[in-house]
Structure 1
């Protein structure tokens, strides 16, 4: 399937989402991967992960980049050679890329009830406004996880913890946006956090 969705966040920031319906061979055939990337994809045991990796390269092409334009730092954070900021995600049958002039992070997650069982591991303050009996409980937990994962990708600093250092301001599912904070080493950082749902998945992204 071609591009699933494009979101123009602002004049400097764009999100593109891909629905992965193609086979591994069909995704690989048109790509020109650098040796390191080919080695990575061939070393993946799961075809689902291989297809996710390759679909991200198709999203790069849609932005006008190639695999050669992408590199990773020592913390695993992706960068583009032209200096634009990028963040990458893939989950099951969807992948996403956000590119901006500003620091960004993105995450896609499948909405699954089991997230409630691990909520106490990544949530503290947010329990004050969540209702466990709400029909939207799982969906709101997924939004919070996605926002915190996006913040982690944006900041890319080892030792940061979702529960202790990231905070998501109260929101409702229909809001499509909220504010998130990083409180780390006596400094506070404020970010705009946006989210959307599609086909039982949640995509969240943050922009500095």
Structure 2
């Protein structure tokens, strides 16, 4: 049996009263059903990444070094992020910009949720950013429009939704395929750190 793919799931919401942990819990539960994946959950609200990047010759702060080692060991990434003002939050961009080679030649799946909009704008922008970092954004994404309306009467989230669950499964299938292919390619390539 092959070693499971290591997926770092990054929760991008840092707002007070945020909805993101509920989405991340739900998505983590879907990942837990897959024996081919293991999950490392990263919450940017507690990661303590500084807002200001240092000059190239300055030392890297401890929280950055700690998160960097977790990202280095990941085979794939999932970004769970709200969409604010037709984009993704500043905390997500800050986390991306602290790192470079940690993202290289690894797949990235995106899970977006929002209050009123469709949620695809932030995902489209994240694809561009990760492509610049030599990562491989997956074609499949999970978008959850009007996420707050998806509670059931008893308060559980989300409401049963076969299309949403299918979207998660196809996204995880594609992420796993790319993770396996790129793990093999990274091991054989002198060009990827």
TM-score (normalised: structure 2): 0.30
The structure where helix makes up a greater share of residues is 2
The structure where strand makes up a greater share of residues is 1
TM-score (normalised: structure 1): 0.29
